[in-house]
Amino acid sequence: MELKDLNTKARPTWCPGCGNFGIWNGLKRALVEKGIPQEDTVIVGGVGCSGKIPHWVNTYGFHGLHGRTLPVATGLKLSNHKLTVIAAGGDGDGYDEGMNHLIHCSRRNVDITYIVHNNQVFGLTKGQTSPTSDPGFKTGTSPWGAREQPINPIALAISARASFVARGFAADLPGTAALIKRALDHKGFAIVDILQPCVTFNHVNTYDWYNKRVYKLEDVNHDPTDKMAALAKSLEWGDKIPTGVFYEEKRHSFGEDLPQLKKGTLVEKDITNIKIDDLKKKLF
């Protein structure tokens, strides 16, 4: 497979300079390097600028509801665990409406990769503050600045028992591709929060702003198996912002030990002779 094989007839309609282009290209590069057949890959998108990404990668795709990427991705993985399932959403989609799903997917350790396009603003709906907006961030609907404390998705995912937690920067295309590939290699729930500048509605957290602050955890010999060290690094935000793999652990993924999945996928099972009358009587 080559990069051109993942192109679609439709082209992205993001604003020129949008950080989503870096994530889009990083994802395609990771899929090519992994060599996963297109027919064995499903990308689930939510609602928002990020939610259109399944339309622009030539694999199977599902465009769902706002904040509901992870339930759909979980259902896909459990019905056919041979698939590579990728969920993609924004900071509004995943850390606002979808926050409860993030927590439960983390603790269940569902074997999917979750890519979050984090631009610290609601982009598609014209620039409202999001759950990751810094205090004081001004928008058209918050002229006096954001009043709430922001969500820390890295610390939250680690404490919720996600088995792979990473952060990327959309302007670092090789680094973004490498992180997504490593997440795809991971057996279990992998979240990659990617700092994605919004050139239209966020004029604070710009490419220049990030370039002065981001550094790579691998350059400071961070140990991703040390949970307490990972949590300490997750709290860094301001003059220095770490990127890379914060935490990774090996443990059984959800469904791996279910007897229903031992002999094959659910979609391959013959259900013509299955009777559920007794079960219906018990439940209803």
Q: Which domains does the chain have, with CATH numbers?
A: 3-257 (3.40.50.970)
- What is the model's pTM? 0.95
Those residues of the chain that have pLDDT short of 50 are: none
The token duo for 137 is 């961030």
The strand pairing partners of 84, in sequence order, are 41
Write down the pLDDT at residue 54.
95
Which element (helix H / strand E) includes 91?
Answer: helix 91-92
Write down the pLDDT at residue 204.
94
The strand pairing partners of 118, in sequence order, are 195
The token duo for 104 is 């439960």
* Cα 110 versus chain centre, distance: 13
Name the residue among 90, 45, 48, 77 with its Cα closest to residue 64: 45
CB 195 within 8 A of CB 170: yes
Structure letter (DSSP) for residue 264: S
Q: How far apart are CA 130 and CA 270, in angstroms?
A: 46
Q: How far apart are CA 8 and CA 30, in angstroms?
A: 17
Write down the pLDDT at residue 261.
87
Write down the pLDDT at residue 126.
82
Structure letter (DSSP) for residue 59: S
Write down the pLDDT at residue 41.
97
